[in-house]
Amino acid sequence: EYTKERVMPIFQTVLEEQRSISKNFKLVLKDEIFYFKCLMFPYDGMVLCQYRDITERSQQKLELERNNRELYEIQKAALIGSWQYESDTRTFSYAGHTDIMCTEEPQDINIDIYLQHVLPEDRETFNNWLEQNLQGDMENSVDYRILYQKQIFYIRLKAFTRERHKDGTTTMEGYIQNITDIQRRRNDINLLTHCLL
């Protein structure tokens, strides 16, 4: 019944408008759900149908959508985004949920301009980490501080892919995380421990 209610109006459209329609449908049979793509053609006052079982593909798509929603919520809760660095243009691109500079739409910034936000005492650490990663040593993450909108934020970067191009340039990708709250709690604990001792 579920499928019939959705298929019959399409049949009517094919007959009345004498045009072909391709549509996906869900078919519920007892405890199982199937998905199929149905191609409908007008043919001598009838509807000629060709259908293909797309259950596996549809289930994979639903699972992927579910995983993406879950990942999206985790990224928001953990204040995580993604970044990409292009060595030829020295462009740092980032997007995500860090609540600092990041939005869901990718943002591009020249690395020299980005470094102006990094606190002076953390720039060497950042530059050393970037150089090590460009050379292929991607084991470590880097923690540093930035000054943005008159506030200091703690940032963590980690690279997870690096691609060396034929022209000698390098593209890297990784995650960026706002660890300000984590670091402030750690600082509070350290201060409290120091006071108690």
124 pLDDT tier (thresholds 50, 70, 90): very high
Strand segments, DSSP code E, in the chain are 21-29, 32-43, 46-53, 80-86, 91-96, 107-110, 142-148, 151-164, 170-178
Mean pLDDT over 158-175 rounds to 90
pLDDT mean across residues, the chain: 85
> Of 80, 124, 130, 122, whose CA–CA distance to 104 is shortest?
80
At residue 178 the predicted structure's pLDDT band, cuts being 50, 70 and 90, is confident
The three-point CA angle 96-67-138 to 5° equals 55
Span 21-69, pLDDT tens digits: 999 988 888 888 889 999 999 999 899 999 899 888 888 888 888 887 8
Sheet (strand 80-86) strand order: 107-110, 91-96, 80-86, 170-178, 151-164, 142-148
Exposed/middle/buried for residue 40 (C-beta within 10 Å: 0-12, 13-18, 19+)? buried
